[in-house]
Amino acid sequence: MKILILCTGNSCRSQMAHGFLQSLDEDIQVFSAGTHPAPNVNPLAVEVMAEIGIDISRHTPTDVNTYLDKTWDYVITVCNNAQETCPTFTGNVWKRLHIGFDDPSEAKGTAGFIRNEFIRVRNEIRNEFTKFYLTEIKEQQQ
């Protein structure tokens, strides 16, 4: 099973989703990418994931073009903000899904508020990707 998770910068939401999904099942191959990848994974994303025992500190943002010639069981887009454009993936895909989340890196306010936004989005990603795993992946493996 090969899964690609896409967003614009590949620095927050797609990286957190990648970490969660991989933590649920080490036998599936999970990758993430962006249409305009950032230079690094957002440090707050790394921090809030580490708090729940998932290490994404060695992840690196990757350009979606790296994966266009591959075959995928699932390609999942996770961007949700109106000012963003979710990427269109033109590769060979069995199933495409959109599971959207706010971009916590766009949050404005105090450091505490911004950190809480990362935690909120992390928790939403955990909930939605756990549902995805149980209903789509686990069901196919049985």
Residue 17 pLDDT: 98
Q: Which residue has the tokens 């075959």?
A: 71
Residue 88 pLDDT: 63
pLDDT along the chain (142 residues), means of 10: 93 97 94 93 98 97 90 90 55 87 94 97 98 88 62
Q: Which of 1, 28, 38, 86 is catalytic?
A: 86
DSSP the chain: -EEEEEESSSSSHHHHHHHHHHHH-TTSEEEEEESS--SS--HHHHHHHHTTT---TT----BGGGGTTSEEEEEEEEE--TTS-PPPP-SEEEEEEEEEE--GGG--S-HHHHHHHHHHHHHHHHHHHHHHIIIIIHHHH-
Q: How far apart are CA 45 and CA 65, in angstroms?
A: 23
Q: Is 79 considered catalytic here?
A: yes
Q: Which of 21, 44, 46, 79 is catalytic?
A: 79
The answer to whether 59 and 31 are in contact (CB under 8 A) is no
Residue 14 pLDDT: 96
Q: Is 86 considered catalytic here?
A: yes
Q: Which of 3, 4, 5, 7 is catalytic?
A: 7
Q: Which domains does the chain have, with CATH numbers?
A: 2-141 (3.40.50.2300)
Residue 120 pLDDT: 98
